[in-house]
Structure 1
């Protein structure tokens, strides 16, 4: 079943921190604690984190288009840098 990123972005604004972390950790390789720490470390909102992840997973866009879109999301680049740092 495909992930409905539009629904996740819409629900992110109203989700509790625990519910949101659980939802995102279920579709990424990060656990709830790591998701919450990313939010705390970067200051990104839940909705903007969901929007950033949606852009990353959008297979219809080129990397250049994704970079532009993520650059327009508040703290979008910050969270990607934090994710990359955790992978190193």
Structure 2
């Protein structure tokens, strides 16, 4: 991750279910981004933790990422849907 923003790429990878990315975020002090990634990957406990830590903005971002991610997944798995590609 040579782009100068490895924490953001780790958050994206964590949101896609990559456990190593979550561990990396926490090891490097990006706890909130770790919770965002978990929340985006449908972990309700992570959303609750962010709210408990008074990080409602991060919780909202995680829920928005989750919504978009789940909609994309739903569309990809719908065999009755014609791909726009």
TM over 0.5: no
Scaled by the length of structure 1, the TM-score of the pair is: 0.35
Relative contact order (C-alpha < 8 Å, sep 6+): which is higher?
1
TM-score, scaled to structure 2: 0.36
